[in-house]
Amino acid sequence: MHAIRAIDAFDGEAFRSTGATVLIDDGVIIGVEPYGSEVPDQCLVISYDGTLLPGLIEAHTHLVTDSGVSALDRVAGYSDEQIDEVITGALRGQLSAGVTTVRDLGDRRFCVVQRRGRRPAGRATEPTIVASGPPLTSPGGHCHFMGGEVSETAEIIRAVAERVERSVDVVKVMASGGVNTPGSDVMRTQFTTAELQFVVDRAHQAGLPVTAHAHGTPAVEQAIAVGVDGIEHCSCVTDRGFGQVSAETLAALARSQIAVCPTIGVDPGLMKEPPPAIKAMMERMGVTAQQLLQDRRDFVSRLHHAGVRLVSGVDSGIGPAKRHGTLPYAVRELVTAGLSVAEALATATSAAAIACGVGASKGRLAPGQHADLLVVDGELETDVTALLRPQAVLLQGAPVTI
């Protein structure tokens, strides 16, 4: 048995005024006591000055992307060895930022799902992976090169069955086009409502949740109507800009308790020049990069105040400003949008764990949870930027080099 303690602590849902001493046995939390509490004899204790919290959970990443310019464009051309190296680098980037669980929402031909299954027994050295495999998309649609094109009922049946067979954790479907796929349109739907409903029904019958990529307002409305479990991006974009959605639709979204991952969060140091696809969208909408970020933030604020269930994810890996390990910036962005620090942190810990299907073992400082932990330098409750200064990261109780 050993213990990690820190004078400040966030337990996944709230800050603890007493700090915390987390007792760990065999990689699992067996007790959470105040900072100054006695520990059993022979129990090794490591103390920190900063804030202790559960390891972060990113709800939307692409481990097959290398965080370079036009990273998605390279995915189709990698050999199997190359793609495995990219995944290794991505996981390392995540871990060094304190991310101990990732949900991968789009790989190439199940390579991330396979990687998840190859995890060696014994000490964990990489973040836990939750994965969807290739997203279902229309022929030639958003991210079609990942291998998930479907066009009719029989293909949907086959595609869902393959995902069940490969034990994916979630089905990802591209309800709208995407920014980075030429020929697909972010503002339009990719499937009919009946087709999307069929995807959801088949997945639910097999016990799998569904999360839908949806930028344009029609795709968001369609996703709500067919009863998905999650919506990615949820920009509600039209030619008039972001957040073009009625109060009734927002109320329905809140009522549905669909988990919305707004995929905000960029590393400002790397946001020199917006990628060409984003530039084209800015021109179409007649907005500047600063305005675009502000509009996104304003809409996330509206979602939060409407009572929508938010989780944090960056869509990491797809470009330099969204490199693997940018999740702390997404949390900070939520605070700027008006969430309390505790609310924002919950979107990247306890709430993310539930949305990713790992709530029983991840996302909280509580007995029975895996001891995936993060210590950051500073008092996080009053200074969210402390999240950008990781001091220690532990996977199942063991410190890792960051």
- Reading the block at residue 32, the tokens are 């959470």
CA dihedral of 351, 357, 362, 366, whole degrees rounded to 10? 70
Q: Which is nearer to Zn ion, 58 or 84 (CB)?
A: 58
Strand order in the sheet with 210-216: 171-174, 210-216, 230-237, 259-261, 309-310
Region 165-194 residues binding Zn ion, contact defined as CB under 5 A: none
- Reading the block at residue 180, the tokens are 């980075």
Nearest-angstrom CA–CA distance, 170 and 26 = 29
Of the listed pieces 12-20, 21-29, 313-321, 328-336, which binds Zn ion according to CB under 5 A? 313-321
CA angle 172, 178, 183 (to 5 degrees): 125
E strand residue ranges, 105-143: 128-131
Nearest distance from C-beta of residue 113 to Zn ion, angstroms = 16
Of the listed pieces 18-26, 275-283, 312-320, 393-401, which binds Zn ion according to CB under 5 A? 312-320
Contact call for residue 84 and Zn ion (CB under 5 A): no
Q: Are strands 56-61 and 171-174 parallel, antiparallel or unpaired?
A: unpaired
Spatial neighbors of 376 by CB under 8 A, at least 6 apart, are 50, 51, 53, 98, 386, 387, 389, 390, 391
Q: Which is nearer to Zn ion, 75 or 124 (CB)?
A: 75
- CB-nearest residue to Zn ion: 315
Contact call for residue 315 and Zn ion (CB under 5 A): yes
Of the listed pieces 16-24, 150-158, 194-202, 307-315, which binds Zn ion according to CB under 5 A? 307-315
Q: Which is nearer to Zn ion, 137 or 396 (CB)?
A: 137
Backbone phi, psi, residue 99, to 5°: -90, 120
Q: Which is nearer to Zn ion, 314 or 376 (CB)?
A: 314
Region 339-368 residues binding Zn ion, contact defined as CB under 5 A: none
Region 285-304 residues binding Zn ion, contact defined as CB under 5 A: none
Nearest-angstrom CA–CA distance, 37 and 3 = 11
Q: Which is nearer to Zn ion, 315 or 372 (CB)?
A: 315
Nearest distance from C-beta of residue 135 to Zn ion, angstroms = 8
Contact call for residue 58 and Zn ion (CB under 5 A): no
Bridge partner residues of 174 (DSSP)? 213
Q: Which is nearer to Zn ion, 11 or 315 (CB)?
A: 315
| Alpha-carbon separation of residue 83 from 61, 62, 71, 115 (angstroms) | 15, 12, 12, 11
Task: Report how many residues bind Zn ion under the rule CB under 5 A.
Answer: 1
Binding site for Zn ion (CB under 5 A): 315
